Amino acid sequence: MKLFITGIGTEVGKTVCSAVLVQYFKAEYWKPVQSGDLHYTDSHKIEAWTDQTVCYPETYRLQLAASPHQSAREENLHIDLDRFQLPETDQPLIVEGAGGLMVPLSDNRFIIDLIEVLNLPAALVIRNYLGCINHSLLSIMALKQRNIKLGYLILNGEFPEDTERVICSFVEEGTEIIRIPEIGTPDREHIRAAAKQLTITKL
């Protein structure tokens, strides 16, 4: 099982959800691009929050905490999709993107292009906020247009029934819905507890 974790935007909890899925599936982890926070990267968080997880090195480690295309430009780099190679492993693998699907890696290549190049099914993280329905449906539509399989819809935290119903009605039959409980402070104890409470249902 190899899965690309993306989100409907920034700050929707992709890294926390990745940690829960790493714990649940006993998976390894790879963050292809890290922009900023090199002293405490998403890989560092996964290592701190989960049990003895193998984390593969990032293909690009960029200093500036900004969109990857801007961070790369600051260092006179060009992010080349041909440089990305999936880690060779027989274990389940969680791959975490940066931001949402249309976050630019260069002026004309985006996270959605990376998912396509890696040929992985996507798991879309959704968090409840005003506008999340619009962002969710646009993201699902973008994946459909590229013929990228939406393997999982990840509902991170609590959702009003009306919001959840509309979003789930837009997803193709066969997609699995992962519900992850609200996590106040991410740490190993809370990630373990969330992994035990996680539920998966199929549409």
- 3-class SS of residue 5: strand
Identify whether 196 is a catalytic site residue: no
3-class SS letters over 42-89: HHHHHHHHCCCCCEECCCEEECCCCCHHHHHHHCCCCCCHHHCCCCCC
The H or E element spanning position 6 is strand 2-7
- What value, to the nearest 5°, has the Cα angle with vertex 68 and ends 116 and 10? 80
Catalytic choice (2, 14, 31, 45): 31
Known catalytic residues are 31
